[in-house]
Structure 1
Amino acid sequence: MRHKDEYKSEAIFEATIQLLNEIGFSDISMSKIAKRAKVSSATIYVYFENKEDMLGKLYVNVKEKLSRQMIQELDPAMPTQMVCERFMRNSMQFILENKDYFMFLEQFTTSPLMDKLCLEDTSSMFTSLYDFIEQGKRAGDLKRLETTFLLTYLYSPVAQLAKAHFKGQFEANEANMQQIIQMSWDAIRA
């Protein structure tokens, strides 16, 4: 049995993300991934059972990276408004610094493949984020709505601004960021 090399695994993930963003799910193959990652096709099967296994693990890997960035520097002692702003800024920073990951997540989460795969539940990666929002609701700072709805009002504007930025329609500058932070806060505060 061949031993696994973490660098090869990461090279396979990176090659897969690049190809998915270039050619999409329907045209991707293990041989194309292997060629891009500069490994043999057989090497991929040391790490993954099949293409679906690889895509599922890649999705979980990217979600974990995103979740770590989203909660960076969040502290339960912070005022709720500051927690919301920090979450939005962290999300934007991740997206701008990891465009390929963001584009992969956007494409993957809207793909029929998402429903087909039996993916690992990633909600535990966001537990502390949910806890911050619940704390804000208990303190009376946030509307008493479903936590997922509140987080959607914080994340979706960031994602939309990032998409517009990547298309050259808007700049993801401080002024635009401040506007969406204020609009989101106005929408969710109690």
Structure 2
Amino acid sequence: MRHKDENKSEAIFEATIQLLNEIGFSDISMSKIAKRANVSSATIYVYFENKEDMFGKLYKRVKEKMSQQMIDGLDGTLSTQALCERFMRNSMKFIMNNKDYFFFLEQFATSPLIEKLSLGDTSSMFGPLFEIMEKGKEIGEIKPFDTLVLLTFCYFPITQLARAHYKGQLEANEVNLQQVITMSWDAIRL
């Protein structure tokens, strides 16, 4: 059995993300990934069983990085409003600092591959966010709607602002970010 090199694994992951963002799922191949990562095609199979295994592990890895950023600094002593704002700012920070990851996740989220690989439920990674919403509902600060709906009203406006920013349509500056945060809070608060 060949020794696994963390640098090669990282190179394979990064090459895969870049290629997926450039050419999409349908045109990607292990040989293209290997060439971009500067490894042999056989080396990829030291780390992954097949392309689907690699995609699944990559998706989980990026989602874990995103969830860690999103929940950073979520202190239970803050109000629900302050926690929602922190979550939204953390989300924007992740997206702005990890453009390739953001576009990879966006592409993956709309792909039938997510269901095929049974990767749809990553809610355990985002447990603290669900807890914030549940607590906010309990103490009467936010609407008693489904928690996923409430989180959607906080996360998707951020992704829309980021998409508009990357397309050159609207700058993701502090003024626009604060407007999105305010509108999202107004949508979910009681």
Q: Under TM normalisation by the shorter chain, which class is it?
A: over 0.9
Distance 1:77 1:136 in 2: 12
- Cα distance, 1:129 vs. partner? 1.2
Structure 2 distance, partners of 1:92, 1:9, is 27
Report how far residue 120 of structure 1 moved: 7.8
**Aligned residue number for residue 91 of structure 2:** 91
Q: Which residue of 2 aligns with 1:76?
A: 76
Name structure 2 gaps, 5 residues minimum. none
Q: Deviation digits for residues 9-38 of structure 1, max 9, x if unmatched? A: 111000000000000101100000001011
Q: What CA distance in whole angstroms lies between the structure 2 residues aligned with 1:154 and 1:52? A: 31
Question: 1 CA distance for matches of 2:171 and 2:120?
Answer: 35
Q: Contact (CA 8 Å) 2:114, 2:120: kept in 1 or not?
A: no
Aligned to 2:62: 62
The equivalent residue for 1:177 is 177
Asked whether the 8 Å contact 1:137–1:144 carries over to 2, the reply is yes
* Other structure's SS at 1:63 match: helix
Aligned residues: 190
Classify the secondary structure of the residue corresponding to 1:186.
Answer: helix
CA RMSD of aligned residues (A): 0.9
The more displaced of 132-141 and 16-25 is 132-141
CA distance in 2, matches of 1:115, 1:74: 30
Equivalent residue, structure 1, for 2:45:
45
Deviation at 1:103, TM superposition (A): 0.2
Cα deviation, residue 119, structure 1: 3.0
Shift of 1:121: 4.1
Q: What SS does the corresponding residue of 2:60 show, helix, strand or coil?
A: helix
Structure 1 residues without counterparts, runs of 5 or longer:
none
The aligned counterpart of 1:146 is 146
Match of 2:34 in 1: 34
Tell me the TM-score normalized by structure 1.
0.98
**1:188 is matched with which residue?**
188
> 1:158 is aligned with what amino acid?
I
